[in-house]
């Protein structure tokens, strides 16, 4: 054998080994992960034992992670940082304008992080993409976090911020006849709860709710997706137990409709919703259950599951379907917030 033949044989052998390794990382007992998700889980995302890390340290680590793995820079016309008054202290908000030429519909957005971590910076890229893509103003809300601030601090801040936008949004360029709420994970939970509360209290008129892999029922961890994807896919059931414990005053809070929106007694006459979930996510079943509950009550809802991906993929370029989910969200926002 000459040197070229030997070299080609070695290259082919190495390629086969790499192929088999990657296939083993992608293959799970419950299906096949997307290539990008498998690589992220293998090399980037590490399990976190949250019970041994103070919430303040978790927040530092989260911000450091976002700085280490940034998304491509997105420019919007204008960004302002402001506050919304509240009896419990001013609520910080960040407002994103795709342009400043006319009054525009608005999305009040709540970041994820299990009610424990996350802030205006960690959700910055998604807010820019939502504002630019849908041609709307996005008001990102920095609600109070647990465990320092227990339930109902987060929902109170989320609701008061939405109410303020509906009542005073015209002062900052918002067309207050067209307002949506949205959020991812714990933020999706808050968006659903705000919609329920607005109906119950005859509060702000909300045109649409964008619920990105929302937490909808912390009282039940026995759903199919929680059993299948209990651990190993970024978000674990142990994480969810930590988060609900951090946010709740007692276990009795788990049954309250603004903590577990799926348990509300009436889901009729709520804003139309787009509920999206990830295929390998413990929250998948409860997201689907919430979409089903809305539909059964006559509330218009679109549900979409993104196969092969994991929690936190929304809008992220490192995930195969992150940009697709963002495009879908943008399209639904345009449809429901159009002034025409």
Closest by CA to 162, choosing from 134, 135, 140, 185, is 140
List the single range of 14-18, 34-38, 231-235 with lowest mean pLDDT: 14-18
Q: What is the pLDDT of residues 44-101, one digit of tens each?
A: 988 888 888 999 999 999 999 999 999 999 999 999 999 999 999 999 999 999 987 8
DSSP 262: G
At 340, list the tokens.
């025409």
Q: What pLDDT, on a 0 to 100 scale, did the predictor assign at position 340?
A: 40
What are the domain boundaries of the chain? 1-32, 43-337
Residues 69-81: tens digit of each pLDDT = 999 999 999 999 9
CB 157 within 8 A of CB 67: no
Q: Which of 36, 140, 185, 285 is catalytic?
A: 185
311: annotated active-site residue: yes
CA gyration radius, the chain: 21
* Mean pLDDT value across the chain: 93
Asked if the model's pLDDT at residue 150 lies above 50, the reply is: yes
Per residue in 158-211, pLDDT tens? 999 999 999 999 999 999 999 999 999 999 999 999 999 999 999 999 999 999
Nearest to 123 by CA among 100, 142, 146: 142
Q: 43-337: what fold?
A: Rossmann fold (3.40.50)
Residue among 277, 273, 262, 276 nearest 300 (CA)? 273
pTM: 0.93
- The pLDDT of residue 181 is 98
Find the catalytic residue in 281, 285, 328, 336. 281
Single out the catalytic residue among 119, 311, 328, 336: 311
The band of 3, judged by pLDDT with boundaries at 50, 70 and 90, is: confident
186-200 vs 153-168: helix crossing angle, rounded to 10: 60
Whether the Cβ atoms of residue 108 and residue 172 lie closer than 8 Å to each other: no
Q: Which residues contact 229 (CB under 8 A, 6 or more apart)?
A: 30, 280, 281, 282, 284
Average of pLDDT values for 286-298? 98
Q: Which residue has the higher pLDDT, 13 or 289?
A: 289
């Amino acid at each position: 054998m000459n040197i070229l033949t030997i070299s080609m044989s070695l290259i082919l052998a190495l390629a086969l080994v790499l192929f088999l390794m990657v296939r083993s990382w992608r293959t799970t007992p419950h299906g096949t992960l997307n290539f990008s998700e498998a690589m992220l889980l293998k090399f980037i995302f590490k399990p976190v034992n949250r019970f041994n890390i103070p919430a303040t340290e978790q927040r530092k680590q989260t911000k450091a992670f976002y700085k280490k793995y940034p998304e491509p820079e997105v420019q919007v016309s204008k960004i302002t940082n402001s506050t919304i008054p509240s009896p419990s202290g001013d609520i910080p908000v960040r407002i994103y304008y795709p342009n400043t030429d006319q009054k525009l519909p608005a999305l009040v957005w709540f970041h994820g992080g299990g009610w424990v971590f996350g802030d205006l910076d960690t959700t910055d890229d998604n807010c820019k993409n939502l504002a630019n893509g849908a041609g709307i103003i996005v008001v990102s809300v920095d609600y109070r976090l647990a465990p320092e601030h227990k339930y109902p601090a987060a929902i109170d801040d989320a609701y008061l911020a939405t109410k303020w936008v509906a009542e005073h949004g015209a002062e900052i360029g918002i067309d207050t006849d067209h307002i949506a709420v949205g959020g991812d994970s714990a933020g999706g939970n808050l968006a659903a709860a705000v919609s329920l509360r607005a109906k119950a209290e005859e509060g702000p008129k909300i045109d649409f709710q964008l619920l990105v892999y929302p937490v909808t029922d912390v009282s039940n961890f026995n759903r199919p997706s929680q059993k299948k994807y209990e651990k190993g896919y970024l978000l674990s059931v142990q994480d969810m137990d930590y988060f609900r414990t951090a946010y709740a005053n007692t276990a009795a809070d788990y049954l309250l409709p603004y903590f577990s929106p799926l348990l509300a007694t009436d889901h009729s006459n709520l804003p139309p919703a787009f509920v999206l979930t990830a295929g390998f996510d413990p929250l998948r079943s409860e997201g689907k259950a919430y979409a089903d509950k809305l539909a059964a009550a006559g509330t218009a809802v679109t549900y979409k599951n993104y196969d092969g991906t994991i929690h936190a993929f929304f809008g992220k370029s490192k995930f195969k379907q992150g940009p697709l989910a963002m495009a879908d969200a943008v399209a639904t926002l345009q449809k429901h917030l159009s002034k025409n």
